[in-house]
Amino acid sequence: MTGTGGARPPAWFQETDLALTVYPQILLLGNVRDRYLLPGEQGRPVVLDLPQALWTLFRRRGYAGMLRHDIVQDRIVWERIAHQEAGGRAADRPAPPAEAIDRALTPAGGDVSRIGAEARSGSDFQRLRSVMAAVAANRDSPPVSLLLPFAGRLGDPGQHQLENTRLFFAAAEALAHEAGRPRVGGLPAPYNTIVWVAERQEDLPASFAMGNARIRVITLPRPDPATRARAARYALHPLLAELPEAEAERHAVRLSRLTHGMGLVDVYSIGQLAHERDLDPDRLEEAARLYRVGVVDDPWSDPGVLEQIRNGEATLNRRVRGQRDAVRKTMDIFMRSATGLTGAHASSSPNRPRGVLFLSGPTGVGKTELAKGIAELILGEDAEPVRFDMSEFAAEHARERLIGAPPGYVGFEAGGELTNAVRAAPVSVLLFDEIEKADPGIFDLFLQILEDGRLTDGRGATVYFTECVLIFTSNLGVAKLPEHLRKAWEARAEKGETIPVLTPDLEPGVVREALRTVFNAYFSDGIGRPELLNRFGDGFVAMDFIDDDVAGEILDLMLASVVTRVESRHRAHLSIGPSVRAFLAYKYQEPEMRAQGGRAVGRIVETHLTDPLARELFLRPARPGERITAAEVVIEPDKAPELVVEREDRQGMDP
């Protein structure tokens, strides 16, 4: 293996090494549950977890040993470090640590000290405080360390424990100021080090370590691509052993890209999956997909799905009338997904969602219907998108409904609506309806999904969106502008920028340009998130007002549906007279109706045809095979519309 030998330790490891002689306490945050690539013997790197990595550091620095809080057994374990004596013989351990440490560790004999319920129920975590005090007070032997791998879990969230937790961490900070360094051979050694480990600083009391010059805070980042590639060479060793060097390196870099934003533990897990499933290196994407979302087969390579996408333009045009340009743009996006080119131009993350659409346009032009058609194309007949009405997420803390409340808050156990849905169905079409009505803070979540294809829920679990299609709909530019965008647009207007009032009489090109302008203004000025414009990329699709010809097509489809329903439900034959059809088409010419598109056509048909027809059939049920004609619509002031219905001779039947 080349490209791995002689690798320097991670920056956090070097910083920790330097801190040992300057700081008595160290707080490690961030990517602390991962594996880390460190130089090993003969230049061959080794992969270690955090306690193992710290052990190697303390051993090299001449520590007598490491005390470690074992949270599983709820005890402190004393792990002694063997060092070489002058003659080369391994000693059991260097000079014993101060007797005070042994006394703190062995209140009743043995080499462990339980600090479980008895300690936390006692005042101030007394036993653990005693161990910490003994560590800090060690002067006459080689230094020792105390590792608290789950420091963020030490405090009990119950109200009755808050005072004990506060006093415990206050005592820990005080010990940092009182600590001295042991002397070995008359020379100062590194401090007796207390190492706190937590994923997030907010898992600890808010005041802990803030402004304390005796506690070093070190953040462990996710591994960079070069580190992931080096680790991939070892993770994939069984698969790459017989390959030429250049080809093996190419596959390692591919795995590095597939694990963008992930840790070395993920790199090794994917490599293990590939080996166990006997996948050749060209099928690493399959192993990564299996690891992330549990989907063994690539739904985008299924012949049935590919055929659906191939014929998708014609299928969607039959379903969504009058939006040929929008449908063509939509299918271009899904052809890109089917060929595996989504995010191919991006150097940052190749793990973005399969497709992202931002459908903007007037109400009633088919945005939701297009989303439903996409779900059927990809997921099969009768599939529906997972729909989120964003008007329900307008409150400031609405994001918690999507990802779940953090620990200790009401609803934590239930999880988030969005993360739960994707965890249950990793291959999904997600529809976020009327996105402009959502609280702007929710866009922080979408930014992470659109960039990295993943999201961390309130319980700390990662949910992957790499196999999902995200569809956002908006009435921006047509419906009433939200307050924060209205003010931004007024500011633009003062600079001479104008936008026409969008009406069905405008040319489609003018409508599309205006929709795009408002879209840009919303993210740049309205909510101050211009970076989202790039994340949506070319997924913006402007949808036109429907013209009179399209409205006529929609009307005929709706009338045919009414005829079919009467025949299937009442076993009667319904005919729509030309006068009725002409009246319904005329009603759509009213300006307020034309502005509402297909939804207005449906409302017209329901008000002037189906409601009076239902009244007729309820009061005078149809006979099987009877022929019924809707002949004319009658409108009288202050009365509901009436329908003149012609029926076959009903002589001998009850009225």
Mean pLDDT of 308-335: 86
Query: Is residue 429 a contact partner of residue 379, using CB atoms and an 8 Å limit?
Result: yes
d(CA 423, CA 576): 48
- Pair 645, 631: CB distance under 8 Å: yes
Amino acid at 551: A
**pLDDT per residue as tens digits for the range 402-418:** 888 766 565 556 678 99
Can you give the pLDDT at residue 87?
47
- Give 218-263 pLDDT, tens digit per residue: 999 999 988 999 999 989 988 888 889 999 999 999 999 888 888 9
Question: Per-residue pLDDT averaged across 495-524, rounded?
Answer: 80
**So what's the pLDDT on residue 300?**
67
Type of residue numbered 245: E
Q: What's the rounded Cα separation, in Å, for the pair 227 and 204?
A: 30
| Alpha carbon distances (Å) from 176 to 123, 135, 192, 500 | 21, 11, 10, 66
- pLDDT at position 412 is 58
Continuous H helices in 311-360: 312-319, 324-338
Q: How confident is the model at residue 294 (pLDDT cuts 50, 70, 90)?
A: confident
How buried is residue 161: exposed, middle or buried, by Cβ count under 10 Å (0-12/13-18/19+)? middle
| Residue extents of the structural domains in the chain | 11-220, 225-296, 324-542, 548-647
Side chain identity at residue 634, one-letter code: V
Highest mean pLDDT among 459-463, 499-503, 623-627: 623-627
Lowest mean pLDDT segment, chosen from 353-362, 450-459, 500-509:
500-509
Residue 371: C-alpha distances to residues 354, 386, 428 (Å): 15, 10, 12
pLDDT at 188: 64
> 168 with 207: CB under 8 angstroms?
no
Single pTM value for the model: 0.69
Neighbouring C-beta atoms of residue 191, cutoff 10 Å? 25
Classified as helix, coil or strand, 38 is: strand
Q: What's the angle, vertex CA 614, arms to CA 609 and CA 619, rounded to 5? A: 135
Phi-psi region of 34 (alpha: psi -120 to 50; beta: other; left: phi over 0): beta
**Beta bridge pairs of residue 220:** 30
The more confidently predicted of residues 115 and 229 is 229
> Both tokens of residue 3?
């490209």
pLDDT at 152 over 90: no
For residues 449, 451, 452, 455, the Cα torsion angle rounded to the nearest 10 degrees is -20
CB 374 within 8 A of CB 337: no
Judge contact between 422 and 377, C-beta under 8 A: no
Q: Flag whether pLDDT at 354 surpasses 50.
A: yes
Give me the pLDDT at residue 499, please. 67
Number of continuous H segments (helices) and E segments (strands) in the chain: 26, 21
- Among 11-15, 295-299, 408-412, 448-452, top mean pLDDT goes to 11-15
**The 627-634 sheet, strands edge to edge:** 573-576, 627-634, 642-647
The Cα-based distances of 300 to 295, 389, 412 in angstroms read 12, 27, 35
pLDDT computed for residue 37 by the predictor: 92
Rounded to an integer, what distance in angstroms lies between the CA atom of residue 571 and that of residue 560? 15
Question: Is residue 404 within 8 Å of residue 388, measured between CB atoms?
Answer: no
The count of other CB atoms within 10 Å of the CB of residue 607 is: 15
Q: What is the pLDDT of residues 442-471, one digit of tens each?
A: 888 898 898 888 888 877 788 889 889 999
Q: Given pLDDT bands bounded at 50, 70 and 90, which one contains residue 93?
A: very low
What is the residue type of 105? Answer: L
If you classify domain 324-542 with CATH, what class do you get? Answer: alpha beta
**Mean of pLDDT values over 143-158:** 80
Q: For the residues 292-297, what does the mean pLDDT come to?
A: 71
Q: Which two tokens stand for residue 599?
A: 């939804």
Q: Say if 324-542 and 548-647 have the same CATH topology.
A: no
pLDDT score, position 548: 85
Tell me 526's DSSP state: I
Check whether 91 has a pLDDT greater than 60. Answer: no
Give me the sign of the Cα torsion angle 210, 212, 215, 216: positive
SS3 state at 171? helix
Instruction: Please give the share of the chain, as a percent, with pLDDT higher than 70.
Output: 81
Q: How far is CA 207 from its chain centroid? A: 30
Digit-coded pLDDT (tens) for 273-285: 999 988 889 888 8
- Of residues 105, 145, 144, the one with CA closest to residue 128: 105
Residues of the chain with pLDDT > 90: what percent? Answer: 26
Enclosing H/E stretch for 17 = helix 11-19
What is the SS3 assignment for 387?
strand
Residue 426 has pLDDT above 90, yes or no: no
Instruction: Judge whether residue 501 has pLDDT over 80.
Output: no
Cα torsion through 7, 8, 10, 13, rounded to 10: 140
What tokens does 19 get? 């801190």
Integer angstrom CA distances of residue 585 from 317, 319, 553: 22, 20, 10
Q: Pick 206 or 568 by higher pLDDT.
A: 568
**Full DSSP string of 278-308:** T--GGGHHHHHHHHHH---S-GGG-HHHHHH
d(C-alpha 82, C-alpha 89), whole Å: 10
pLDDT tens for residues 577-590? 999 999 999 888 88
Distance CA 249, CA 253 (A): 6
Please say if the pLDDT value at position 34 is more than 80. Answer: yes
Q: Is the pLDDT of residue 151 over 80?
A: yes
Q: What is the pLDDT of residue 111?
A: 43
Q: Which residue has the higher pLDDT, 648 or 401?
A: 401
Distance CA 66, CA 50 (A): 13
pLDDT value at residue 118? 37
Q: Please, which residues bridge with residue 26 across strands?
A: 195, 216
**Strand, helix or coil for residue 512:** helix
- Dist CA 468 CA 466 (whole Å): 6
Pick the CATH number of 548-647 from 3.10.110.10, 2.60.120.200, 1.10.8.60, 3.30.540.10: 1.10.8.60
Q: Which amino acid is present at 170?
A: A
Q: How confident is the model at residue 264 (pLDDT cuts 50, 70, 90)?
A: very high
Report, as an integer, the average pLDDT of 180-196.
80
Q: Return the closest-CA partner of residue 199 out of 20, 399, 66, 34.
A: 34
Rounded Cα distance, 547 and 544, in Å: 9
Length of the chain in residues, anyone?
A: 655
In whole angstroms, what is the distance from residue 319 CA to residue 312 CA? 10
Task: Answer whether residue 184 shows pLDDT above 80.
Answer: no
Q: How does the average pLDDT of the chain come out, rounded?
A: 81
Pairing of strands 46-48, 36-38: antiparallel
CA-CA distance, 350 to 28, in Å (whole number)?
Answer: 30
The string of pLDDT tens digits covering residues 523-575 is 887 787 888 887 876 789 988 888 888 888 899 999 999 999 999 999 999 99
Q: What is the pLDDT of residue 473?
A: 92
Looking at the DSSP bridge assignments, the partners of residue 597 are none
Q: Does residue 651 have a pLDDT over 70?
A: no
